[in-house]
Structure 1
Amino acid sequence: MTVGFILLVHTALDRAAQVARHWALSGCPVVIHADRKVTRSAYAKLQRRVKGMDNVRFVTPRRHCAWGTWGIVGATLSAAETMLAEYPDVRHVYLASGSCLPLRPVQELEAYLAERPRTDFIESVTIEDVAWSKGGFERERFTLRFPFSWKSHRELFDRWVAIQRRLKLHRAIPDPIVPHLGSQWWCLSRATLTAILEDPDRERYDRYFRRVWIPDESYFQSLVRLHSTSVESRSLTLSKFDPQGKPHVFYDDHLQLLRRSDCFMARKIWPHADRLYSAFLSNDPDVTKNAEPRPGRIDRLFANAAERRVLGRPGLYMQGRFPRHDRENGRTAGPYSVFEGFGELFVDFDTWLARVTGHRVHRHLYAPERAELAGGEQVYNGALTDSAALRDYNPCAFLTNLIWTTRGERQCFMFGPRDNHFPAGFMAADPHAQISVIAGAWAIPLHRSGLPRDLMRKEAARLQRIEAGHLELLRARWVKARVRIWTLAEFVEAPMEKLQDVLDEIVPLQGRRMTEVPRMADLGGFGRFLQDLRNDGMNLHLPGDFPADDFPEGPPRTMPYLVKQAE
């Protein structure tokens, strides 16, 4: 009693011949079907490579095995008929492709099957439970007709499907077949395979499946349910697919991964993986495992690889996988803080914040003249320059590159109505962003500018209009950033508490109160300045309710500082 192998080949014929010789020398019969597309010279060379092997046969005539068509099933049926007719000692038939590679000694496979003489190993799942089918067809693959090849005549294929749907042309599934789907690589017992080949209704079944979509994934999978007495709905061949339904290719560096799977066969092997072929094409008893195939051991690795391939790394934008808008796997690679109005209210706020938090603090990254990088740098991590022209070519990408190239270090920067506001919406929708706004603080440097009153009023109106639009955006329902907004008047009433709230989020593990606060800008006469703008006809509302009389220098007397101010 032994196992026979059906080998379907169309490329890498030298590797197919190498595997066929390995099986034949191990005492297992091999029946080879070569695609009709294989040239005569290549086919003759394949025959010469296995010449002298008495237990190797070739299927004639050769069929054209286009993907998704009946040719593959027809070739398999012809090979199975040859196998059962010429080798009566075969008790299991194993279907493999020319890109398959045995991972365990043949003796182990024979012993494994000998303990399960009536068991059929074939993935066979009802169409209601299939989650991996690709191409938009589930039950329709059994109720529509597919006479055209999807790969070579795609336009005809699509048109004919559309016509059938429009005219509601459906065909009945022949009784008693219940459609099942699964991997085309199986290992069936002789009894079951004989029952399928000698079924009195086989001609009717074959005629029906000739027009099924991808019949090699459904023909044996469905018929085995009619004839088998013991079905193991799994394949003994390790075959992994990517999210697009294409098989993963195994290379030399997958050697240990394949060994861990304990499967008897694997596909698809790179034809030039010399290390894999030399390592596995051996019947060395020292590598015998006598273990149950467990492809689940490596499923997590493939799941992680598929997720990485589809989603990429959070916050990483790259030329080969630039995501569509709102389809990113995280807009940025890590948390960052945006301060609007703080640089105007406090003197050297960026220097103080860097000293207190230990993080990198930039000034106005989106200033009109240049990107004010931390420390006045002209070139920063990731070859980012302070050029406003380069930055404004793609302002959002400038930010994502900055966060990506400084992973592990929180970035903080100033923002305001004078800056380029193009990335404002991007930051508002970013869960990694912490945005703190002191509304109306832009009026403080304007108060000290010395501009004529008419120009000052126009500039104040412009800045207020920009900031009002920005605040409206930050209050939208779709905003995902952590946003805090205070009016200037509200903030200066209790600046310590407000600063402490912001710092607690930036350095949450610090767990201690501030011992130093930044020096507040001189606000003497600021209240009168705001009232003058209102008297000139401006609807000034963002700074809040400041008293019209002179505002004392520094913080209000109602909020005593309990710590020293920064010099």
Structure 2
Amino acid sequence: MMCHTALDRAAQVARFWAEGGAPVVIHVDRRVDKLSFDTFTASVSDLPNVSFSRRFKCEWGTWSLVSAAQAGAEQMLARHGEVGHVFLASGSCLPLRPVQDLAEYLAARPTTDFIESVTTADVGWTIGGLDEERFTLHFPFSWKRQRRLFDRYVELQRRLKYRRKIPAGILPHMGSQWWCLSRRTLASILQDPDREVYDDYFSKVWIPDESYFQSLARLYSTNVESRSLTLSKFDFQGKPHLFYDDHLQLLRRSNCFVARKIWPQAERLYATFLAQRSPIDAEAEPDPVKIDRLFSKAVERRTNGRPGLYMQSRFPHRDRENGKTSAPYSVFQGFDDLFENFDGWLAKYAGARVHGHLFAPERAEFAGGETMFAGCLTDSAKLRDYNSQAFLTNLIWNARGERQCFQFSPRDSQACNWFLATDPNAQISVISGAWAVPLFLSSESFAVTRREAARLQKIELDQIGILRSMYVKARVRIWTMADFIENPMELLQTLIDEISPRSTRRLTEAPRLRDLSGFGQFLQNLKNQGMQPRLMGDFPVDDAPLPSNVQRDRPYIVR
């Protein structure tokens, strides 16, 4: 056992092993203070088959960890001739099955070495960018304490194309540092006449505790099972997962003999597993695959998160989100300018939550005129514009399960244009030039109207340019105002079908079109004043295309 912290828990585990009939050799990090060490030794002093090995000052990724394992293994082989296998564990490991189960399991496999051992070409789990190079470069600096020097020295060796010579007969292998080796294999490694050469080479390898025994076992073992009997799971950063009390049933299902790392305060885990004394099923094979799926999902959740959910713990980089928003939604531009009470009509036929202009300059116009929406989103324009993208993603997330629709206009804040255009969940429908209808119906002086029309047209031209970009991922439909009012019923039916694809209900009425009598002359007046309308389509000067009191339905053929 290699211990450096939570020595009270290590003492409990050591007692479990020893009372189960397994001799125990303990290495305690030399950095542990004398009082803690003395307390530890005193707590197990009544156990005759527990001893302490020579202490080393251990640091992650350095040769000191191998030296400690060597010292403990040599002492184990020298003092306990009856030992057939040596199991390396840490102070944070917890036995999951009785000692007798492990003893019988190993006795049935006297020549088998359980050590994860794969070549660098087959390793896909290393973290840090060094696979083969950890065996061919020098690493005199600590990766944890001297990271800048470590990185610069590695880069210098790469530039100089420096390569260390690997000792003859050694094919570097890597794997978990928690192994279980047969006495024969371990003794062969420790008593090899070339051990000094191998030790000198591996002492300059990066993270040698993951490669020293893993490589040398291949020289002497006649039966290597490339797996560890210790259950250990790692996150996407290469750091071990901690097991807590609520992992109790999960650990039981694994059938593994030992698990690491256990949270020192996991009272229930220690109380449950250390109480086991009688054999359960020595032939039960460790099966960590049972819980691999759960951990894979945990890693996926940690790295990708949930679609459309932004959290402080895993705020994604731009354009690397797992979905910009959490659910489909619809944006309607120009519809409420062209039709009367379009919001009410859409809510009736689409069965969705229909908001007004969420990005209006004065306030966010939530459905029903509410001042507060799900998730405590307020209608404050100042709060919304502080982070308009977060406002939208929060609104979609908090209302998931219900389709959200809202109105948009060149009069509104344009901060989210690119976000909307690149969101695959967005369905954007635009009637270009419809913003001119409120200007046409207003009583403002024509000079003010012309300036406002020029401003809005420029904004909408820029927006449409974004919506026609090669980077667009949203579902975008753009019609000129003239094209849309030529056949509104069929186009509206298409939009309703997209929002509610399972609905077989056909539209029986269209929203009421605003009175456009004289709209063509209005556009001509804008031209006469030097402003060229470009987005409305072709409107005749002498007649409105569709009076407000007439509804013309396109004939349909019913089969």
TM-score interval, smaller chain: over 0.9
Contact 1:493–1:559 (Cα < 8 Å) also in 2: no
Cα distance in 1 between the residues matched to 2:473 and 2:364: 25
Amino acid at match of 1:112: Y
Which residue is equivalent to 1:4?
none
The CA deviation at 1:133 is 1.0
The CA deviation at 1:288 is 3.6
Which residue is equivalent to 2:265?
272
Residue 538 (1) aligns with residue 518 (2): no
Cα distance change of structure 1 residues 458 and 23 upon mapping to structure 2, 3 Å threshold: same
Aligned to 1:277, what secondary structure does the other structure show? helix
TM-score (norm 1): 0.95
The CA deviation at 1:167 is 2.7
Which residue is equivalent to 2:19?
25
> 5 Å matches for 1:501-520?
501-520=494-513
Instruction: List runs of 5+ in structure 2 lacking aligned partners.
Output: none
548-557 vs 164-173, greater mean Cα deviation: 548-557
Cα distance in 1 between the residues matched to 2:276 and 2:518: 93
TM-score (norm 2): 0.97
The CA deviation at 1:320 is 2.8
Q: Percent identity?
A: 63
Partner of residue 62 from structure 2, selected from 69, 77, 83: 69
Which residue is equivalent to 2:44?
50
Residue 299 (1) aligns with residue 299 (2): no
Cα distance in 1 between the residues matched to 2:117 and 2:196: 22
Partner of residue 157 from structure 1, selected from 150, 154, 157: 150
Which residue is equivalent to 1:194?
187
Partner of residue 324 from structure 1, selected from 313, 317, 325: 317
Which residue is equivalent to 2:8?
14
Amino acid at match of 1:40: K
Residue 235 (1) aligns with residue 244 (2): no
Contact 2:527–2:533 (Cα < 8 Å) also in 1: yes
Contact 1:23–1:29 (Cα < 8 Å) also in 2: yes
Which residue is equivalent to 1:464?
457
Amino acid at match of 1:497: E
> 5 Å matches for 1:310-389?
310-389=303-382
Cα distance in 2 between the residues matched to 1:430 and 1:203: 61
Which residue is equivalent to 2:249?
256
Partner of residue 126 from structure 2, selected from 127, 130, 133: 133
Cα distance in 2 between the residues matched to 1:147 and 1:55: 38
Contact 1:142–1:173 (Cα < 8 Å) also in 2: yes
Which residue is equivalent to 2:115?
122
Partner of residue 396 from structure 2, selected from 377, 389, 403: 403
Cα distance in 1 between the residues matched to 2:363 and 2:438: 19
The CA deviation at 1:287 is 4.1
454-463 vs 401-410, greater mean Cα deviation: 454-463
The CA deviation at 1:317 is 1.5
Cα distance in 1 between the residues matched to 2:143 and 2:226: 28
Contact 1:492–1:556 (Cα < 8 Å) also in 2: no
Contact 1:70–1:210 (Cα < 8 Å) also in 2: yes
Root-mean-square deviation (CA), in Å?
1.6
Residue by residue over 1:523-544, the C-alpha shift from the partner in whole angstroms, topping out at 9 and shown as x without a partner, is 1111221122223332212000
Residue by residue over 1:393-419, the C-alpha shift from the partner in whole angstroms, topping out at 9 and shown as x without a partner, is 111111111111111111101001111
Cα distance in 2 between the residues matched to 1:300 and 1:556: 63
Aligned to 1:31, what secondary structure does the other structure show? strand
Which residue is equivalent to 2:446?
453
Amino acid at match of 2:140: P
Contact 2:338–2:513 (Cα < 8 Å) also in 1: yes
Cα distance in 2 between the residues matched to 1:282 and 1:195: 36
Question: Number of residues paired by the alignment?
Answer: 556
Cα distance in 1 between the residues matched to 2:226 and 2:278: 29
- Runs in 1 of length 4+ with deviation above 3 angstroms? 282-290, 552-559
Amino acid at match of 1:301: L
Aligned to 1:520, what secondary structure does the other structure show? coil
Residue 497 (1) aligns with residue 487 (2): no
The CA deviation at 1:442 is 0.8
Contact 2:332–2:428 (Cα < 8 Å) also in 1: yes
Partner of residue 208 from structure 2, selected from 209, 212, 215: 215
Cα distance in 1 between the residues matched to 2:160 and 2:338: 72
Contact 2:539–2:545 (Cα < 8 Å) also in 1: no
